[in-house]
Amino acid sequence: MFKQFYDDASSTLTYLIADLTSKQAILIDPVTDNIDEYLAMINKHQLTLVYSLETHVHADHITGGGKLKSITTAKTAVSKDCGAETADIQLKDNDVITFGDEEIQVIATPGHTAGSVSFLWKDRLFTGDSLMINGCGRTDFQSGDAGILYDSISTKLFTLTDETLVYPGHDYNGRRVSCIAQEKLTNSRLANQSREAFIEIMRNLNLPKPTMIDIAVPANRKCGVPESQQG
């Protein structure tokens, strides 16, 4: 079972994957404001949420991982390089998350942030903010580095099969899925660009500071739950 959710306020895409034999499920990048929507789907199909996975520490919304843990006992999982010390699992490159008969591979894809990861499930790649549809995440905060992001995409993501489906962490233009072949051919920041040219593109984006960053980043390093409420 696979379900994609969309958060209007932050344009965040969240993903539910379930093994219907064991009824075990995981969420990728849940948003705290949408927990009721996730739980309604989980309860409808009588699922057990076992993991809440984060592609990185988000700057534009507060994760629902911590609250979901308190409601469902799902373990929180964040990259070891994110500084999210309260997460139950500190993810590393090539880790495998197992639920029921399903497996998700962790692919370290730093660059947008130092701790960014992508998740590969079957022929579907969940890229967070590392690779977006016709774009990529910015690299001017949270230890971002354009050169490292270029390396992550070109050597780890663009080497996957062309048919691999790309499900990003955000989209601001109503798009929901792409594929590796399409991004290699048409991504305006990456297609046919050298590493040096990509770095120059990213250096000159001149984007405004995310409005939620000063609230979201500290909260998300606590998995979205204030320290006073940590169990």
Rounded to 5°, angle at Cα 94 from 103 and 76: 65
Is residue 157 helix, strand or coil? helix
Residue 229 lies in a domain: no
Confidence of residue 174 (pLDDT cuts 50, 70, 90): very high
- pLDDT tens digits, 31-73: 999 999 999 999 999 999 999 999 999 999 999 999 999 999 9
Q: Is there a contact between 140 and 149 (Cβ–Cβ < 8 Å)?
A: no
- The pLDDT of residue 231 is 47
Indicate the length of the chain as a whole number. Answer: 231
Which residues 6+ apart lie within 8 Å of 188 measured at CB?
A: 134, 135
CB proximity list for 215: less than 8 A, separation 6 or greater = 62
Domain membership of residue 217 (yes or no) is no
CA atoms within 13 A on the CB side of 176: 7
In a domain, 212, yes or no: no
Percent of the chain with pLDDT over 90: 97
CATH number at residue 10: 3.60.15.10
Say if 228 falls within a structural domain.
Answer: no
Instruction: Classify residue 33: in a domain, yes or no.
Output: yes
How many domains is the chain partitioned into structurally?
Answer: 1
Range of the domain at 192: 2-207
pLDDT at residue number 227? 54
The mean per-residue pLDDT over the stretch 202-210 comes to 95
Proportion of the chain above pLDDT 70, given as a percent: 97
Q: 90-120, pLDDT tens digit by residue? A: 999 999 999 999 999 999 999 999 999 999 9
Q: Does residue 226 form part of some domain?
A: no
Closest residue by Cα to residue 66 from 228, 230, 214: 230
27: pLDDT confidence band, cut at 50, 70 and 90?
very high
**Which pLDDT tens digit goes with each residue over 126-165?**
999 999 999 999 999 999 999 999 999 999 999 999 999 9
Query: Is 225 part of a structural domain of the chain?
Result: no
Cα–Cα separations (whole angstroms), residue 148 to 64, 70, 101, 210, 224: 28, 36, 34, 21, 27
117 in a structural domain: yes
